[in-house]
Structure 1
Amino acid sequence: MQRIVVIEDEDVIASAVAVRLRGEGYEVGVASDGRTGIELVEQETPDLVILDVMLPGIDGLEVCRRIQRERPVPVLMLTALDTETDLLVGLGAGADDYMTKPFSPREMVARVKALLRRVERSQYSTEKTVTVLDVELDPATRQVKRSEHEVHLTPTEFDLLYRLGSRPDVVFSREQILSDVWGYEDGFGTRTVDSHVAALRRKLGTEIIRTVHGVGYATGEDK
């Protein structure tokens, strides 16, 4: 049975999320503050973490950084914040996706399942190394190197850049990227794509991914 840890200080939300996930067949642990959440993740070694940004004590962003340092794990952040800067900070801390409160329980379950499916796929990857400009991505080791120096990307950033880089000069729509990388089939959440592209550009330079206005994103030279 797959394990999920929910770190949320609002009892009503934490309880509702836990009940829904248990109903879907997951084993769920709940923590109501950052420090307890970090300890629970260390004890449970979950398959996924659902993490609120605004927590008492250690905030959600710092919790995300700490748990990702120990062992990469998919993180779905819950936030009442909705500005691009706030979302970029969350993604930079290592989150794979975010949902803005209030959110649909059905959508939350769909995102949880998609994130877990993606992790399972990546564990059995037989894809070849891909190079985007001077950045090399190795799917077998999940390592990213630029001029022989290792670069840290979150799992989602890796998957996004690898998908675009595996077909240079092909323009991917946001909806197609959501389907290919996140496994979301309803097209909901295109801002997630934009935020991750912005995070990659901050780490690797604006030229790493180009925008094709009105269509989507691509790697390779603009022709």
Structure 2
Amino acid sequence: MSIHVMVMEDEPMMIDVLTAYLEKEGYEVSSSKNGKEGLDLFWEKQPDFLILDLMLPDLTGEEICTRIRQKSEVPILILSAKSTEEERIQGMMLGADDYVTKPFSPKEVIVRMEAILRRTGLLSKKSIQSFNKGILVIDNKKKQVTLHDEEITLTPIEFHTLIAMSKEPGRVFSRADLLEKIQEDRFYEGYERSVDVHVKNLRKKIEKDTRHPEFIVTVFGMGYKFGGKRDVSNSL
């Protein structure tokens, strides 16, 4: 289960940047560079959240916002170079939930978006992530992990190691990287070599075959990576 965010923005570089940041945080992302195509995609995908640029090449963002609000209450965050108070007020009156002026930080966009998601109660969906067609499911809020629909008991260190790695599938983590991630949570102090022990124990619990791991993969001479593929469906 994940939150689906749609980005309507005419600048390809901005789409790439926002998509990278959003996917890193575990969101499913779709995008469009023009209004008509974007509207069609919006009704097809039914996203949970819309990031909308007002200055699109064919339809204006204002028109898109108006059309969407006629049929949907999806949260909308407007991006625009229009920065006067009157322009911001107009955007909010069209039904947007927040307004960010360009230039902006992608981190600010995500912070603003998640504030809206918390108010609407949608952010709780993000706490649950599933991988490999539901084989592995991690509920960060409940601190619960299930494998083939059976709950797996992990120690706090094992759980936080799994969380750290699963947030960035495919990234190679050195022992120092993982140790830093665990220590960021202020519940563990240890040495780099102790990471190997925790990874080994974690692997025993979530892998069908520890010699050919599916989720916790060794990258020889470098460290470990999470090999699971995140499910993008909104239902488990």
Normalised by the size of structure 2, how large is the TM-score? 0.50
| Matches of 1:18 and 1:68, distance apart in 2 | 24
Describe the superposition over 1:80-104 as per-residue Cα deviations: whole angstroms up to 9, x where unpaired. Answer: 0111111111111111101111111
Aligned partner of 1:23 in structure 2 is 24
| Matches of 1:62 and 1:76, distance apart in 2 | 15
Aligned partner of 1:102 in structure 2 is 103
What is the one-letter code of the residue matched to 1:93?
L
**Structure 1 residue runs of 4 or more that deviate by more than 2 Å after TM superposition:** none
Deviation of 1:33 (Å): 0.6
Deviation of 1:15 (Å): 1.0
| Matches of 1:113 and 1:38, distance apart in 2 | 23
Deviation of 1:41 (Å): 1.1
Asked if the contact 1:79/1:101 (under 8 Å) is kept, the reply is yes
Any gaps of 5 or more consecutive residues in structure 1?
122-223
Aligned partner of 1:47 in structure 2 is 48
Aligned partner of 1:56 in structure 2 is 57
In the TM superposition, 1:107-122 aligns within 5 A as 107-120=108-121
Q: Is the aligned partner of 1:71 residue 2:72?
A: yes
What is the SS of the residue equivalent to 2:121?
helix
| Matches of 2:117 and 2:105, distance apart in 1 | 19
| Matches of 1:93 and 1:40, distance apart in 2 | 21
| Matches of 1:18 and 1:108, distance apart in 2 | 12
What is the SS of the residue equivalent to 1:13?
helix
Aligned partner of 2:8 in structure 1 is 7
What is the one-letter code of the residue matched to 2:100?
M
Any gaps of 5 or more consecutive residues in structure 2?
123-236
- Percent of aligned pairs sharing the same letter: 42
Describe the superposition over 1:35-63 as per-residue Cα deviations: whole angstroms up to 9, x where unpaired. Answer: 11111110111111000010111100100
Deviation of 1:113 (Å): 1.0
| Matches of 1:40 and 1:96, distance apart in 2 | 21
What is the one-letter code of the residue matched to 2:70?
R
Q: How many residues align?
A: 123
Aligned partner of 2:165 in structure 1 is none
| Matches of 2:93 and 2:102, distance apart in 1 | 20
Deviation of 1:21 (Å): 0.3
Aligned partner of 2:93 in structure 1 is 92
Asked if the contact 1:4/1:48 (under 8 Å) is kept, the reply is yes
Deviation of 1:67 (Å): 1.1
| Matches of 1:111 and 1:83, distance apart in 2 | 19
| Matches of 2:106 and 2:121, distance apart in 1 | 23
Asked if the contact 1:47/1:116 (under 8 Å) is kept, the reply is no
| Matches of 1:38 and 1:70, distance apart in 2 | 12
What is the one-letter code of the residue matched to 1:35?
K
| Matches of 2:86 and 2:111, distance apart in 1 | 25
* Structure with the greater alpha carbon radius of gyration: 2
In the TM superposition, 1:109-188 aligns within 5 A as 109-120=110-121
What is the SS of the residue equivalent to 2:79?
strand
| Matches of 1:116 and 1:43, distance apart in 2 | 21
Aligned partner of 1:37 in structure 2 is 38
| Matches of 1:120 and 1:14, distance apart in 2 | 26
What is the one-letter code of the residue matched to 2:29?
V
Deviation of 1:14 (Å): 1.0
| Matches of 1:103 and 1:94, distance apart in 2 | 21
Normalised by the size of structure 1, how large is the TM-score? 0.53
